[in-house]
Amino acid sequence: MKQVEDAEILQKFGIEKTRNEAFNLLITKYQQKIYWHVRRLVIDHDDADDLVQETFVKVWKNLANFRSDSQLYTWIYRIATNESITFLNKKKLKNNISLDDVSSELADSLASSSYFDGDKAQRKLQEAILTLPEKQRIIFNMKYFDDMKYDEISEVLGTSVGALKASFHIAVKKIESILINND
């Protein structure tokens, strides 16, 4: 099946009778990428599913106001990232725990997840990533797993490219250190 261009999706969304078709095309194009982006942030499959649904509800409600200042892809990623951060912050507040404890809880969730099908090395990598501060973890995931360019990540997070490069470099060094020292 041929990949539909964002411009075509936006054009169809602008027409009342093809709006649902356009949204279905958008979901088909981006749902899996967004799911894995969110899943790497919140770890739990059910939480990720809920957040992806929330993300696309927000996309539906706001797509008519999309100004094309950024790519559709980065705009959706920004919504998904913000939804994930909000979720993690609420979890932290609800349980009255620190972000480190949330990371520990996420690591426990990863270890017991029936949806995690990675090998031992993948699990070690995920556990190392969970030790990173939230922003470094998000940057690392977007660069390493989603293969996003720094300018795209900059659009999503509203951070300068230089700061992103520094954060990514620091994150890589921390992860390397953890993986080397835990062998």
Domain boundaries, the chain: 6-181
Instruction: State the average pLDDT for the chain.
Output: 86
**Which residues have CB under 8 Å from 63's CB, separation 6+?**
10, 13, 23, 26
* Confidence (pTM): 0.80
For the stretch 99-155, pLDDT in tens is 455 555 555 555 555 454 556 777 788 888 988 998 999 999 999 999 999 999 999
For the stretch 63-93, pLDDT in tens is: 999 988 888 999 999 999 999 999 988 887 7
Residue 183 has pLDDT above 70, yes or no: no
Measured CA distances, 100 to 26, 66, 131 (Å): 35, 36, 7
Higher pLDDT pick, 100 / 32: 32
Provide mean pLDDT across the span 28-48.
93
pLDDT bucket at 1, cuts 50 / 70 / 90? low
For residue 15, the 8-state DSSP code is S
Given the candidates 2.40.37.20, 1.10.1740.10, 1.10.443.10, 1.10.3720.10, the CATH classification of the domain at 6-181 is 1.10.1740.10
